[in-house]
A and B are shown apart, each in its own frame.
Chain A
Amino acid sequence: MYTVIDIPRFALQAVLRLEEGLRGRPVVLVDESLAKPMVIDCTRAAERAGALPGLSLPQAIARCEEVVVRYCSEKAEALAGRALFDCAYSLSPRVEETYPGVCSIGLVGVNWKTLVGSCQEIVSVLRGLGLRGRIGVGATPDIALFVARKSKGVTVVGELSLQGRADCPQSAGVVEDGWPAMVAEPERTGLPHCSLKEFLNSLPIEAVEPSEELEAILDQWGIHWAGAFAQLPREEVGKRLGAEGLAFWDRISGREERPLRISELPEVYEESLEFEYEVDTLEPLLFLIRRFLDQLCLRLRVSALVAESIHLKLGLADIRLEDGERIEAIETSLKIPDPTSDSEALFMMLSTRLEKMDTDSAVVGLCLKVDPIDRNESQLGLFETSLKDPHRFTQTLAQVAGIVGADNVGRPSLELSGRPEGMTLERLPTITPPMKGLGTKEQFGLVLRRFRPPLKAEVRVGERRPIWFRCSRVGGMVAQCRGPWAHSGQWWESGGWNRLEWDVELKAGGVYRLVKERTQWMVEGMYD
Chain B
Amino acid sequence: MALARAVQLEPVSLREIVGEGVRWAAGTDRDTLGTGIDHFDRALGGGLSTGVLCEFVASTPSSGGQTVLLHLLEGARKERRFAALVDGANAFDPQTSPPALIEHLMWVRCGSLEQALRAADILLRDENLGMVIVDLRDCAGWALKRTRSTVWYRLQRLVGRWEGTLVVFTPRPMIPSAQIRVALAGRLTVAQCDANLADVSKGLVFEVLRLRKQEIGDFPQLIQAG
Contact = CB atoms under 8 A, between A and B. Distances in A.
Q: Is B truly associated with A?
A: yes
Interface of A: 383-385, 387-390, 392-393, 396-397, 399-400, 403-404, 408-412, 414, 420-423, 425, 428, 432-452, 474, 480-482, 503-506, 509-511, 525-528
Interface string B141-165: 0000000000000000000000000
A388 B107 CA distance: 19
Interface string B65-94: 111011100100110111000000011111
Given A409-B106, A509-B62, A511-B190, A525 B93 contact: yes
A384 B65 CA distance: 29
Interface residues of B, number: 66
Contact of B63 (A389, A432, A528): A528
Contact of A445 (B58, B78, B96, B138): B96
Interface stretch (B47-55, B120-128, B172-180, B216-224): B120-128
The binding surface of chain B is classed by DSSP as mixed
Interface of B: 36, 58, 60-67, 69-71, 74, 77-78, 80-82, 90-111, 115, 118-119, 122-123, 125-128, 137-138, 187-198, 200-201
B189 A505 contact: yes
Contacts of B69: 447
A491 to B, nearest CB: 19
Contacts of B60: 509-510
Contacts of A392: 126-128
B93 to A, nearest CB: 4
A509 B193 CA distance: 15
Given A403-B119, A428-B106, A449-B66, A414 B200 contact: no
A450 B135 CA distance: 13
A380 B107 CA distance: 25
Nearest 3 A-B pairs (CB), nearest first? A437-B100, A510-B61, A528-B66
Nearest to B67: A447
A445 B122 contact: no
Nearest to B69: A447
12 contacts: A385-B82, A392-B126, A392-B128, A404-B119, A408-B111, A409-B106, A435-B103, A437-B100, A440-B74, A505-B190, A511-B190, A525-B91
A389 B196 contact: no
B65 A528 contact: yes
Contacts of B96: 445-448
